[in-house]
Amino acid sequence: MSAITASPSESIQVRSPGREIAAIAVPVSLEMVLQLVLTFVNQIIVGTLGAAAVAAVGLAGSVSFMFFVGLGALGSGTSILVARRAGANDQAGVNGTLTVALGVSLLLAGVLTAPVVLGAGGVLALAGAAADVTARAVPYMQVIMLALVPGVYGWILSGALRSLGHARTPMVATMLTVVIESLLAWGLVFGAGPLPELGVVGAAWAVVIAQILKAALLTFQMYGPRRLAAVALPAPGTRRAVAGPLLTLSAPIALTEMLWSFGGFLYAAVFARVGTEALAASQIVGTLEGIFVVGSFGLMSAATVLIGRALGAGDGSGAQAWFGRVSRAGLVSGLGFGLLFALSALLLPLLFPAVGEAVRSMAMGGVLLMAASQAVKVRNMILGGGVLPGTGDGKGVILGDVVGSFVVGLPLAILLGLHTPLGVWGVFLARVLDEVAKVVIFEWRRRRLNWDALAEAQRGRETTAAH
C-alpha cells in the first residue's frame, strides 16, 4: 500500500529510543557534513587564488546566507507541522501543509532574489573590506543568490521527508550533488576541459547548478513512484488552520535566523576592519567549525521530529522524555566533535599553503578557542533550533539570539577587536561569550515549558481542525 493511502505514521518503523534518534540524526548530520565539506573543498579551491579570494567568498557568503537561512525557516516550520500531522495519522494534512509551504517558499524566494542581486555592491560596501576583496565579492554574491529558489525548495522537501521517516533520502540526494558540485567548482574556477575559466565566480555557478539538481531529485522522491505525498491544497474550510500555524511557527524562526546570520555578517565586518588577513582567517575557522558542529546538527532535527510527533499524539510526558534523550546525545556529540575540531588545526598548513603564515596562525588560535565552546553551541542548536520553536516559544529563541549577538557578542567584538591589543583574538573570544549568553537564556525558557499543557493544546487544535 502506498504512503498516499496509508497513514503517515504507518511508514515510520518502531525502534528503540536510541535507534529512533539515530535514524533521524545520523542521516541529517551526514548530509550537513557533506554540504560543509563541499563548502570547505570549494574554499580550498578558491584558496589557491590567495587570501583576498578566500575573504571575498566569505564576505559574500555571510550576506547571502542571511536570505537562505531566513527562508529556510519555512522548512523548519514545515517539518514541525508535517511531524505533527504524521503523529496524528493525517495524510491530507501532510499533503496540504507541504503544498502550501512549497508555494509560499517559491514566491518569497523569487521576490527576494532580484533586488539582492541588483543591490549586491551597495550591501557589500557596508562591510568596509579592502577594495580588492569587495570587487571579487560582488559578482560572486550576484550569482550565488540565484541558488535561493532551488535551495529553499530543497530544504522544505528535506524537512518533510525527515518528518515522514525518510531521513536517508535527502542525504543520498546531497551525496550525489556534492560530487557534481565539487567537479563543477574545480572546472569552472580553473577552466578544465570544455568549461570556461571563471575564477571565483565559477564556484558560485557550481552551487547554483547543484542546488537545481538536488531540488529535482527530492521532488522525484517525494512525488514520484514512492508517492509519499500529493500536490493538494487544504480543503477551503481548513486552509487557515494550515497557513496560520505555518506562519506562526516559521516567522519567529525566520526572524531569529535572520538575526543570527546578520550577526554573522557584522562579525565579518569587524574582522574585515581588523584586516584582510583576519577576515580570511575567520572564514577558514568558520568553515572548519561548521563541518564539525553539523556533526551534531541532526540532533536538532531529531528534537523537532520526535517532540513534534509526541505532541501531535497528545503525549506530553513522551515529548519531555524525547527532549532528555536528545539532550544527553547532544552533550556526548558536542564534546566529541569539539575535540576533532581542535585537532583539525594541525592540518591548516597542508590545506591552506597559499594564504600565508599570518593567516594560518590566526586561524589556528581561532580553531582552538571555538572548539572549547563546541558543546555549548550544540546545546544552543538543540534548544534554539529544535525544542523551543517546536513548542511554540519563538519569542524565547529571538530573545536569546538578540541578547547573545547584539547585546553581548558584537559589542565585545568591537571593543576587544578594534580597541584593545587583542585584535583578532578578541573577536573570537566575543563569539564564544555570545554562545554562553544564548545558552543561559535558552535554558531559562526551556525550564518554563509545560509539556502536558502543550500536548493538550495540540490535541484541542486537532479536534477543532477535524470539525
Which tens digits make up the pLDDT trace of 138-159?
A: 888 888 889 899 988 988 898 8
The ranges assigned to domains in the chain are 17-462
Is 346 buried (19+), middle (13-18) or exposed (0-12) by CB count in 10 A? exposed
Grid cell locating 346: 594541525
State the DSSP code for 391: T
Residues 307, 320: Cα–Cα separation, whole Å: 8
Lowest average pLDDT, out of 86-95, 206-215, 413-422, goes to 86-95
Q: Are 10 and 250 in contact (CB under 8 A)?
A: no
What burial letters (b/e) apply to 215-244, b meaning 16+ CB within 10 Å? bebbeebbbeebebbbeeebeeebeebbbe
CB half-sphere exposure, 272, CA atoms < 13 A: 27
Q: What is the pLDDT of residue 8?
A: 47
Would you place residue 2 in the very low, low, confident or very high pLDDT band (cuts 50, 70, 90)?
Answer: very low
Question: Where is average pLDDT lowest: 256-270, 297-311, 333-347, 418-432?
Answer: 256-270
Phi-psi region of 136 (alpha: psi -120 to 50; beta: other; left: phi over 0): alpha
7-11, 77-81, 382-386: least confidently modelled range? 7-11
pLDDT 10s digits, 337-369: 999 999 998 988 888 887 788 888 999 999 999
Looking at residue 438, what is its pLDDT?
A: 94
Instruction: Summarize the confidence of residues 103-129 as an average pLDDT.
Output: 80
- Residue by residue, DSSP assigns 321-359 as HHHHHHHHHHHHHHHHHHHHHHHGGGGHHHH-TTS-HHH
Q: pLDDT digit string (tens) for 299-313?
A: 887 888 888 888 878
Q: Say what percent of the chain tops pLDDT 90.
A: 22
Per-residue pLDDT at 165: 78
Distance in angstroms (rounded) separating the CA atoms of residues 110 and 150: 10
Quick check: 436 pLDDT over 90? yes
pLDDT at 288 over 60: yes
